[in-house]
Amino acid sequence: MKRIALVTGANKGLGFETARQLGAKGIKVLIASRNKERGNTAVETLKAEGLDVELAQLEATNQAEIQALAQKIEAEYGKLDILVNNAGIIHQDEPLGVNTAEGISDETLKETFDVNFFSIVNLTQTLLPLLKKSDAGRIVNLSSILGSNTEQSDVESPYYTVKPFAYDASKTALNSFTVHLAASLEDTNVKVNSAHPGWVKTDLGTENAPMEIVDGAKTSVSLALAEETDFNGKFVHMGEEVAW
């Protein structure tokens, strides 16, 4: 039976390219998208390339939709082999060049954490029974080098001045989830890692970024493929560990 992957936020950008690269490996990919129309467009594009993909409409902060998706996957496939938690936001109140720690609002913090942390924990916990049925389950949490406290506290780091607090803190929390979940699952067939894609030409990364989307997806794809990684509970970029 084919391996089954779910990629969140897969209607565009890194999520779309991750789905494309996984599909090219012969994996059945469920395209999770909040927007049904955009999700269908992504599915049609990848199907035209000969890939086995299907829409999985999902509002990641909606518990009812998460439960419905889990039930659908169980009924149709009986397992889930790969979960790529790609969906994420940076709030409009957080310009990348500004340290927002002094003035960030509760609302911005809550909205950012709801999408970048709480919804991922919830979705992952809900899908864990299905991932445990895989011979080689893989969970990839899309993080960012901006969530590295090592980099953020190093005045020599090129990222030292990039401090959108809510976004950075949400990725730090996500990294902590990776470490804890990997330890909890160490006696199972499921491995969990955080991926730093690099600075990529996406809506978030902007056109100023040096990396193309096709390269930005490679870390997530590598961590998702059972035969290509021995990492577990690590923060990884292009096959190399990143400091927490």
pLDDT truncated to tens, each residue of the chain (244 aa)?
899 999 999 999 999 999 999 999 999 999 999 999 999 999 999 999 999 999 998 998 999 999 999 999 999 999 999 999 999 999 999 987 899 999 999 999 999 999 999 999 999 999 999 999 999 999 999 999 999 999 999 999 998 999 999 999 999 999 999 999 999 999 999 999 999 997 654 555 555 554 688 889 999 999 999 666 679 999 999 999 999 9
Q: How far apart are CA 155 and CA 173, in angstroms?
A: 22
pLDDT of residue 195: 97
pTM of the model: 0.94
237 in helix, strand or coil?
A: strand
Tell me the chain's radius of gyration from C-alpha atoms.
17
Cα 240 to chain centroid, rounded: 18
Contact 109, 243 (CB under 8 A): no
Domain ranges of the chain: 4-241
The sheet carrying 240-241 orders its strands as: 53-57, 28-33, 4-8, 82-85, 138-142, 191-195, 235-237, 240-241
Residue 1 confidence (pLDDT): 81
Rounded to 5 degrees, φ, ψ at 189 are -90, 5
Where do runs of H (alpha helix) occur along 56-207? Answer: 63-76, 106-113, 119-131, 149-152, 165-184
- Return d(Cα 190, Cα 170) in angstroms, integer: 23
CATH number for the domain formed by residue range(s) 4-241: 3.40.50.720
Catalytic pick among 2, 72, 79, 171 = 171
Which pLDDT value is given to residue 171? 98
Given this model, what pLDDT does residue 244 score?
96
- Active-site annotation holds for 167: yes
Neighbours of 64 (CB within 10 A): 8
Tell me the C-alpha distance between 232 and 236, whole Å.
10
In this prediction, residue 213 carries a pLDDT of: 82
**Residue of 28, 163, 167, 201 marked active site:** 167
Give the integer Cα–Cα distance in Å for 68 and 45. Answer: 25
Output the six-digit token pair for 138: 């893989």
